[in-house]
Amino acid sequence: MSDASRVVLGLGGCVDYELKLTADVLEQLITSYGIRAAELTSPPAVVSSERDLVVSILGYVARGGGGEHFVASAPALSTFADRFAHRTTLGGTSVRAGLLLDRLGIPSALHLVTVNDDFRRLLPAGGEWFNSGTEDTFFPHLIVQFDQGLHVRAGDLDLTSPFPNRLIYVNDPANEIMLLTDDLGSRLSRASVFLISGFNAMRDETLLDSRLAALREHMRQLPADAVTYFEDAAYHEPAFSARVRAALLDRIDVYGLNEDELQTYLGRTVDLLSPAEVADALAALSKLIPAPILVLHTKYWALAYGADAASYTDAVDAGIVMAATRYVHGDDMTRADGEELRTRRRRAESVVFATALADRLGEVVSCRPAFQLDVANPTTVGLGDTFVGGFLSAIAGKAHR
């Protein structure tokens, strides 16, 4: 049995075009498309053109938010990307988590639904992966980063981003289909850790139900002591989120999500530094998603919530350390960078919050504060994926329920 077979990461992956927004290009687009400030309050439900894409992006920049969307027009993605300096990377929660694990010296096996020359060039040499597709496919995702303080002024628009963040725009038939390999079950029979992600890209209800049923059948071969981690995401068809939970929740040990997904589910904003508001949010979330352990990762802190929360403290902290290391060092991060970052100060307000939340909720919560970081050019892409990779690094080979 190969060591990689102990950690199976799925279910999809992609090539990313990463870029950082600049005010001059955005202002030119606002002017040429005649975009008005009022449009940002009700962005298009379907992104079907580059103009729609710009309106959607500006709405997020104005509030410093992050998100993910299906784009009906694939050419709009490449047209927009070509207006900026951009680079080609690999994305998807499972792929980025696997890349981190490789840097930490922890082997894993990746289940992919699309492969091409970029994958072969950028995946770790000697890494283990298996692909459900029968031929090469290429459906790049647009990953948009913006800095805190990005100021855009054109027409009647005058906005400044209050936070740095990232946006994901997708037109990807391979991940929409999410074909599973026939041998996934046999691979899972040897696994101690299984990561599930990627169903958020699917758009056909019948096909989704078929894939979920097939995955459940494959998961029957998981060892009883394996840990199954499910990472949530923004669903291109929002109603599908409930279908996925209904199909898989009884087989999930740890259910992870970020602050954007939390607030979407609750239908309200949550003050992430208010122990009372977060406690109420966790109570409401646990009724909607009654997983044994909920993991919530935010820019201020991350936590595990559930009866066995304390046993995941080290995993939560490892996730925070690795995400913070990526924030500072980007794709060039090393294990040594992570060890150095671990020694830095935590955010004062986050330390106060974590203590107060523990006083309020007791042993059902284990919260770790984020780091105090002042970075001129932070990396905002892949932080959640890197958190997942860090979390899994702490439990790989030591699965428990």
Sign for the pseudo-dihedral over CA of 183, 188, 191, 196: positive
Residue 231 phi, psi (nearest 5)? -105, 120
The answer to whether the CB of 18 falls within 8 A of the CB of 381 is yes
Q: Strand, helix or coil at 130? A: strand
Q: Strand, helix or coil at 350? A: helix
Place of tokens 């000697």: 126
Query: Which is more confident, 292 or 381?
Result: 292
Can you count the helices (H) and strands (E) in the chain? 15, 16
**CA angle 250-256-257, nearest 5°?**
125
pLDDT of residue 121: 95
The answer to whether the CB of 305 falls within 8 A of the CB of 282 is yes
In angstroms, how far apart are the furthest CA atoms of the chain? 63
The answer to whether the CB of 240 falls within 8 A of the CB of 209 is no
Q: How far is CA 119 from the centre of its chain?
A: 19
Q: Where in the chain is the domain with CATH 3.30.1110.20?
A: 17-88+141-171
pLDDT above 60 for 237: yes
pLDDT above 70 for 398: no
Mean of all residue pLDDT scores within the chain: 95
Residues contacting 261, CB < 8 A, separation 6+ = 232, 233, 234
In the CATH scheme, what is the code of domain 17-88+141-171? Answer: 3.30.1110.20
User: What fold characterizes domain 3-15+91-137+174-395?
Assistant: UDP-N-acetylmuramoyl-L-alanine:D-glutamate ligase (3.40.1190)
Instruction: Name the percent of the chain lying above pLDDT 90.
Output: 92
The residues with which 368 forms a beta bridge, in sequence order, are 302
Q: Strand, helix or coil at 308? A: coil
Residues contacting 383, CB < 8 A, separation 6+ = 166, 323, 326, 327
Helical residues (DSSP H) of 10-84, grouped into ranges: 23-33, 50-63, 74-81
pLDDT of residue 46: 85
pLDDT of residue 229: 98
Dist. CA 339–CA 147, nearest whole Å:
26
* Residue 171's pLDDT band (cuts 50, 70, 90): very high
Q: Where in the chain is the domain with CATH 3.40.1190.20?
A: 3-15+91-137+174-395
pLDDT above 80 for 366: yes
Dist. CA 14–CA 222, nearest whole Å:
26
pLDDT of residue 1: 46
* Residue 127's pLDDT band (cuts 50, 70, 90): confident
Residue 353 phi, psi (nearest 5)? -60, -50
pLDDT of residue 380: 87
Dist. CA 303–CA 356, nearest whole Å:
13
